[in-house]
Structure 1
Amino acid sequence: CCRSKPVCTRCSRFPRLCKYDMKFVPWANTTSKTIKHPIQSTVSSLPKQIIQPLSCHLVDDESRFYIHHFSTQTSILLFPLAPPSFRERLVSSALRAPSLLYALLAASCSHHARLACNSTSQKNVLRYTNIALTALQNALASQADRVELSDVASAIVLCTNDACNGNPSSFYTHLSGAKHLLQSLVDQEHTGNENSFVQWLAKWFATLDVCASASGSYRSVITNDSYPLLETLPRPRLAQPDDLCGYSLELMPLISRIGQLANQDPSLWSSPVILDEISQLEAYTGMFYEPDKPGSLADTDPITREEKMRNTNNAFASSALLHLYRRVYQFPKDHHMVRTAIQNILRAVENLTASSTTIVLLLWPIFSAGCETENAEERRSINMRMQHMESLGLGNFKQARAAMNSYWSSGTHLTWGQYLENHGSVFVLF
């Protein structure tokens, strides 16, 4: 491009963004005394990119690569149904908070290592994680009793990384810490645009907690079946499938409670009060399943976002019922209600194309259906789906698929939760 006269394509499209060593003044009304902000006026027309000034902590090409990879790859797989505004807010917040930045770098590095099958990158994952933990501790120590949005986000990202990397003990530690930080944040006054981001963090935390309570030996860190902030959302918003977790937020306390009952001594279930509660749980959970409408998926390729959310919601509702039937009612695998729940899960999964990233949300439903079915064709189909999920490089799909195949090979009559706990294979289905 000639420095004396802008003639390149970029200059002709975005003349106000051209920058030269010389003083270049874009055409403007010279009589106007209003100060122009040319960058702000053209931001909406720029291609998607991180437009905020890069953090001073992104000091090398490697860290800049990983934050770009998180923005364009990892975050989209983590939240396939979430609007771009949430992912953008997460990254922009990280550029101002070292603890969150390094937590995201650890998530991105771990994801990239699985995609590239590069075990040496695990050293970087550990390094980024340790820096994030130190930065979070320093931030909390310097802020006295005040909790910032970035502190909560950092704890939740670290917790997510532990789930994906198969670190159950540190996962539970970070989950408990995230709960206390989130509750402190909710107790503080937050207004304006921050409210929506706090709600996103609350939903993210609740999703992790539900996954923990549904994963076998873990228990929810919530003691009163009420998740911070979520109960304050409008009821219509709670009832419909959520675009972060993929299912109705009203299902969350139900799944969590079913998980709590499954971990109790069965002798306690003889109480009339508990029996009545179990019956109500079954009826209420079943209300969230929405059968396929005739022709709802016909000639729809790809299927709409609403259809994706309906199917993910159906998968989780059916998985909750399957959990109730097998772990609480203790029905055998060939019981007709168990078989119906499995078939409903598989139908919801089959309605999603194999290439859809939405499938990453369904590890618990697919794993549960796989462990509970003894049909060879269903097992083959589930194994193939989980193999594809594993290839996406996110979540502990590899560990889950290996555990599922081990459970099949054992021929045991134990539930999958009991079998995995006996063999020391404890992980979070996220």
Structure 2
Amino acid sequence: MATSWPAVPAEMATSPPREDIPNGLSISNLLGNSYPPPAAPSPSIPALLDFNFPTGPVSQPISFIRPAVGVPNRTLNYTPFESGNIPDYRQDFPGLSSTEIGIAEASAECDTFSSSDSGSPDTSLCMSGTPQEGSPDSFSAGILDGPDNALISHTRPSSYAHLHSIRPTFDEHCSPSSSERKWHTYLTSVTDNYGMDCGRSDTDLGKNDDHSAIDVNNALDMIQSQTGSHVSSPRNFQAGKECIADSKYNYYALPVPINIPRYLSPLPTSLLKVPINLMYFHHFLNHTARVLVPHDCQDNPFSSVLPSMAIGDPNLLNLMLAYSASHRARFLGQPEPANRIALWVSDVFPSLRIALEDPHEKVTDSHLATAIMLLSLKIVSPSTFEVPVPWQSHLQLARDLFLARQFQMAYPGNRVGAFLTRWIGYLDILGSLSCRHHQPPLLAYYSVLSTCCADEEWDEFAVDCFTGFTPRTGLLLMQLGGLVHQCDNERFDDLGRFLPEWNPSPDIERKAESLIADWDTLDMHAHTHETHYQDSESSDMIAVDRAFRYAGLLHLYRRVLAEPSDSSSILRALDGLMQAVTAIRSGATAEAGVLFPIFTAGCETLDLQQRIEIKERLEVLEGTGMKQIQNARRLMERSWDTELPWIAFSQGEFLG
């Protein structure tokens, strides 16, 4: 059974009572020294912490038992959909009580907010009760109330604190009835519509009309037609199509409805009062989150777990908005709103600095998530920050926060701990294989992840939707990272010159042979849970796992055992890698998650036609808006031009 991520992650806020920093790990251990120049073999972190930023608020542990965030009491006005769109709940949902049918029919209609508080944000937009494709498994905050999930009236309370601690489940001792399943599906599919994202360019702070970033003309037209008003709005929905950006990308082929899952309500005022912030929040949920994983499904934590954490923590939310703004601009081929992004991230460094320096400040899940998000933003948009801090320092910061938090996270059923461990573990593995100046990945990721998933059907040989490879493949890549780190640094002299004639020691050879034996075992046992995937997705995911394994095998032969490119071992591994990469359908969602294997194949193949095909594939992937793909392609092409291994002249490019 595939690992299940919570879409209403109430349990995130709870953790065992052990909140102190683990024994043997002092604050001084976390702080370390400044990150050394590139020639130094062991980077450490807090060039970040020496920034002379003004002190900002500290990210506190988030709780999904949240108070309302400046949202007044509101009453929903319901208006029916167009004729024929409303389901017959009495016929289609047998077994529902008359009260339940009344709630379902009302909530399935288009509802609009009308606030009695004239000073409240203008949220008079169409509330969609229709299921949204790919919407996470969650409860509708507008439907349920009370500890026993009692049905309530249509008056929406100002606080849904209890709702964020509820997750719908069926009695494990009996099968749910058809009506129960349908009702559950309905409740977990409700979204609120806030207008349209037309793909307009963000011209940055002071130049952009932030309140017109979202097109609400269609919603206003509907409201006016319902109230009998004859006041015309600037444009109707059809005319709104004129604002679509001139883009070759299908995502903005039509205006994108800004549908946000209702379980995230009430949204913070920082989103409701500034429409462009709301637009970027939705863009992350609906688009960015989908390209960050090789398989996007209802278990994707970037579209469920992370947003739920972000709406409770301003720093994490700001980083999510910055990441979304960077990705959206690159995706559309537009300039990044650099000043806006700089403002969003300005308070993040001081918050993390205080968390590490203050012995009374506990490191929280929110601190760790913020640090990992900061690292991710640095990778996807290296020029985001004015201060030239390398991604290696951001990764070291995240590692230190993980070490300070790992024992508190490691308990069965901690889904947020599993998400954060997967996230930093993936970045640490790829970071160690990308750059010899980064430390070997922490093997603790494997043990923490297995503990967090202990109450699930933990299968270390099943391909993970988040990483694209099995946990056992991940463990072998971690071990490979340790060997690569040692050998890569031995292949350069004191002046940083590459030594092409280097050979490994007998001890290194023994460790490498042990890893090769493990690789052979994995090739026989890795699998997917096919019922979790549709159409060709299962074969895509098997191919992704094989691509990572064969890429790792190539790095083992080339960087650890120093075998020549024409050796039989290299040729067999390269053939396996090319077959795996070819098996991943071009344009599939899995494709964006295999930069490291595709880059490896491109660097190792000597076949001209294969090089052309790989280059073209990377150029297409650059259209996803991720800067590291372009950097990797250029590094690969330089390797072709110089006929030297890419590690001989790499400048710390992140290859994942």
Deviations 1:408-429 (A, max 9, x none): 122x2x3211132xxxx32111
Deviations 1:292-344 (A, max 9, x none): 99xxx9xxx97433222211100000001000111112111122221222222
**2:500 is aligned with 1:270:** no
**2:349 is aligned with 1:133:** yes
Q: CA deviation at 1:189?
A: 6.4
> Relative to 1, partners in 2 of residues 1:228 and 1:164: Cα closer, same or farther, differing over 3 Å?
farther
| Correspondence for 2:589 | 357
> Relative to 1, partners in 2 of residues 1:131 and 1:383: Cα closer, same or farther, differing over 3 Å?
same
| Correspondence for 2:152 | 36
Q: CA deviation at 1:142?
A: 8.4
| Correspondence for 1:89 | 305
What pairs up with 1:279-290 in 2 under 5 angstroms? 279-289=513-523
Q: CA deviation at 1:134?
A: 4.0
Q: Which residue identity does 2:557 align to in structure 1? A: Y
**2:407 is aligned with 1:187:** yes
CA distance in 2, matches of 1:20, 1:359: 45
> Relative to 1, partners in 2 of residues 1:99 and 1:318: Cα closer, same or farther, differing over 3 Å?
same
**2:653 is aligned with 1:427:** yes
> Relative to 1, partners in 2 of residues 1:224 and 1:186: Cα closer, same or farther, differing over 3 Å?
closer
- SS of 1:383's equivalent in the other structure is helix
CA distance in 2, matches of 1:21, 1:63: 22
**2:267 is aligned with 1:54:** yes
CA contact (8 A) 2:294 2:467 kept: no
> Relative to 1, partners in 2 of residues 1:90 and 1:198: Cα closer, same or farther, differing over 3 Å?
same
Q: CA deviation at 1:148?
A: 2.4
What pairs up with 1:76-225 in 2 under 5 angstroms? 76-85=290-299, 86=301, 87-137=303-353, 144-166=360-382, 169-188=389-408, 195-222=414-441
CA distance in 2, matches of 1:328, 1:90: 37
Q: CA deviation at 1:210?
A: 0.4
- Range with bigger deviation, 43-52 or 341-350: 43-52
- Range with bigger deviation, 47-56 or 360-369: 47-56
| Correspondence for 2:539 | 307
- SS of 1:49's equivalent in the other structure is strand
CA distance in 2, matches of 1:96, 1:285: 42
> Relative to 1, partners in 2 of residues 1:302 and 1:346: Cα closer, same or farther, differing over 3 Å?
farther
| Correspondence for 2:106 | 15
Q: CA deviation at 1:270?
A: 2.4
CA distance in 1, matches of 2:416, 2:350: 24
> Relative to 1, partners in 2 of residues 1:417 and 1:384: Cα closer, same or farther, differing over 3 Å?
same
Q: CA deviation at 1:10?
A: 7.5
**2:638 is aligned with 1:406:** yes
**2:292 is aligned with 1:66:** no
Deviations 1:53-107 (A, max 9, x none): 1112224122111111101010111124254342212112101101110111111
Deviations 1:223-268 (A, max 9, x none): 5575561253559522221111101122223223323323433778
Q: Which residue identity does 2:152 align to in structure 1? A: K
CA distance in 2, matches of 1:19, 1:211: 46
CA distance in 2, matches of 1:290, 1:254: 15
| Correspondence for 1:247 | 469
CA contact (8 A) 1:371 1:416 kept: yes
**2:257 is aligned with 1:257:** no
| Correspondence for 1:334 | 566
Q: CA deviation at 1:143?
A: 9.5
CA contact (8 A) 2:484 2:559 kept: yes
CA contact (8 A) 1:289 1:318 kept: no
> Relative to 1, partners in 2 of residues 1:72 and 1:220: Cα closer, same or farther, differing over 3 Å?
same
Deviations 1:363-416 (A, max 9, x none): 111101101111001101111111111111125111111121122122x2x321
Q: CA deviation at 1:21?
A: 6.9
CA contact (8 A) 1:115 1:393 kept: yes
> Relative to 1, partners in 2 of residues 1:393 and 1:403: Cα closer, same or farther, differing over 3 Å?
same
> Relative to 1, partners in 2 of residues 1:178 and 1:222: Cα closer, same or farther, differing over 3 Å?
same
| Correspondence for 2:615 | 383
Structure scoring higher RCO (CA < 8 A, sep ≥ 6) equals: 2
> Relative to 1, partners in 2 of residues 1:236 and 1:268: Cα closer, same or farther, differing over 3 Å?
farther
- SS of 2:595's equivalent in the other structure is helix
| Correspondence for 1:344 | 576
- SS of 1:118's equivalent in the other structure is coil
> Relative to 1, partners in 2 of residues 1:153 and 1:75: Cα closer, same or farther, differing over 3 Å?
same
Q: Which residue identity does 1:150 align to in structure 2? A: S
CA distance in 1, matches of 2:585, 2:188: 32
> What number of residue pairs does the alignment pair up?
402
- SS of 1:155's equivalent in the other structure is helix
CA distance in 2, matches of 1:15, 1:143: 52
Q: Which residue identity does 1:209 align to in structure 2? A: D
Structure with the higher fraction of residues in helix conformation: 1
| Correspondence for 2:97 | none
- Range with bigger deviation, 123-132 or 68-77: 123-132
Larger Rg belongs to? 2
CA contact (8 A) 2:375 2:395 kept: yes
> Relative to 1, partners in 2 of residues 1:211 and 1:310: Cα closer, same or farther, differing over 3 Å?
same
> Relative to 1, partners in 2 of residues 1:334 and 1:53: Cα closer, same or farther, differing over 3 Å?
same
> Relative to 1, partners in 2 of residues 1:163 and 1:289: Cα closer, same or farther, differing over 3 Å?
farther
CA contact (8 A) 2:483 2:508 kept: no
CA distance in 2, matches of 1:269, 1:21: 72
Q: Which residue identity does 1:418 align to in structure 2? A: A
CA distance in 1, matches of 2:409, 2:567: 51
| Correspondence for 1:393 | 625
Q: Any gaps of 5 or more consecutive residues in structure 2?
A: 1-76, 87-104, 117-149, 157-162, 164-182, 192-258, 492-501
CA contact (8 A) 1:216 1:418 kept: no
CA contact (8 A) 2:409 2:417 kept: no
TM-score, normalising length from structure 1? 0.82
CA distance in 2, matches of 1:243, 1:191: 22
Q: Which residue identity does 1:54 align to in structure 2? A: L
CA contact (8 A) 2:331 2:625 kept: yes
CA contact (8 A) 1:239 1:249 kept: yes
TM-score, normalising length from structure 2? 0.56
Q: Any gaps of 5 or more consecutive residues in structure 1?
A: 23-33
- SS of 2:585's equivalent in the other structure is coil
